[in-house]
Amino acid sequence: MVFNLNVYYMKIKLCSNCKNGLLCFLIFTIAFTACKKESQSLSQQVYESNTSDIATDGVLTVQPIKRPPTTQQSFIPNGGTATVRYKFTSQQHVLLDSLDFSATADIAYITIGSQSYFNHNGSINCNLISSIDAGSSVVLNAQIHYNDVDSASSGSISRLVLKGINYQTDEKNIHSFQIENGAAAPIFCRVNNIPHIKLQKPQGDFLRFGFQEIIELVLTGDTNWVLQSLPLRTYCDTLPEAFGSRYFVCYNNQKIKVGDMTFNFPQPTDKVVHFTNGFQHVAGDSEVLKIYVITYNFGGTMVTTLMEPLTSFDWADGLGKVIKGNLNSRFYNEQTGVSVFQQ
Q: What pLDDT digit, counting tens, does each position of 60-76 carry?
A: 999 999 888 999 999 99
Residues 34 and 48 in one domain: yes
Choose the final residue of a domain: 134, 161, 191: 191
Choose the final residue of a domain: 162, 191, 220: 191
Residue 20, domain CATH: 2.60.40.10
Residues 65 and 90 in one domain: yes
Residues 62 and 204 in one domain: no
* Phi then psi dihedrals of residue 327, to 5 deg: -85, -40
Residues 34 and 50 in one domain: yes
In angstroms, the CA 123 to CA 142 distance is: 15
Look at residue 1 and tell me if it is in a domain. Answer: no
Look at residue 2 and tell me if it is in a domain. Answer: no
Residues 171 and 251 in one domain: no
**CB proximity list for 159: less than 8 A, separation 6 or greater:** 102, 103, 104, 184, 185, 187, 188
Domain range for 94: 7-191
Look at residue 160 and tell me if it is in a domain. Answer: yes
Choose the final residue of a domain: 191, 206, 235: 191
Minimum mean pLDDT range among 127-136, 171-180, 291-300: 291-300
Total of domains in the chain: 2
- When pLDDT is cut at 50, 70 and 90, the band that residue 239 belongs to is low
Identity of the amino acid at 59: V
Residue 305's nearest CA partner among 211, 244, 213, 232 is 232
In this prediction the pTM is: 0.81
Q: What is the DSSP string of 168-208?
A: EETT--EEEEEEEEEEEPPPEEEES---EEEEE-----B-G
Look at residue 165 and tell me if it is in a domain. Answer: yes
Mean predicted confidence (pLDDT) in 180-193: 91
- Scanning 234-293, the segments in alpha helix (DSSP H) are none
Residues 160 and 221 in one domain: no
Residue 117's nearest CA partner among 132, 133, 102, 138 is 102
Number of Cβ within a 10 Å radius of residue 259: 10
User: What pLDDT is attached to residue 266?
Assistant: 66
User: What pLDDT is attached to residue 260?
Assistant: 80
pLDDT at 199 over 90: yes
- When pLDDT is cut at 50, 70 and 90, the band that residue 321 belongs to is very high
Residues 177 and 41 in one domain: yes
Do the beta carbons of residue 168 and residue 175 sit within 8 Å? Answer: yes
Residues 236 and 103 in one domain: no
Look at residue 327 and tell me if it is in a domain. Answer: yes
Q: Which H or E run contains 106?
A: none
Give the whole-number percent of the chain exceeding pLDDT 90.
66
Look at residue 176 and tell me if it is in a domain. Answer: yes
- When pLDDT is cut at 50, 70 and 90, the band that residue 28 belongs to is very low
pLDDT at 288 over 60: yes
User: What pLDDT is attached to residue 208?
Assistant: 82
- Arithmetic mean of pLDDT over the chain: 84
Question: Where on the phi/psi map is residue 59: left (φ > 0), alpha (ψ -120 to 50), or beta?
Answer: alpha
Mean predicted confidence (pLDDT) in 120-131: 93
Number of Cβ within a 10 Å radius of residue 106: 20
User: What pLDDT is attached to residue 238?
Assistant: 74
In angstroms, the CA 59 to CA 140 distance is: 18
Beta bridge partners of residue 9, listed in sequence order: 138
Residue 148's nearest CA partner among 83, 82, 77, 196 is 77
- When pLDDT is cut at 50, 70 and 90, the band that residue 34 belongs to is very low
User: What pLDDT is attached to residue 43?
Assistant: 30
Mean predicted confidence (pLDDT) in 284-312: 91
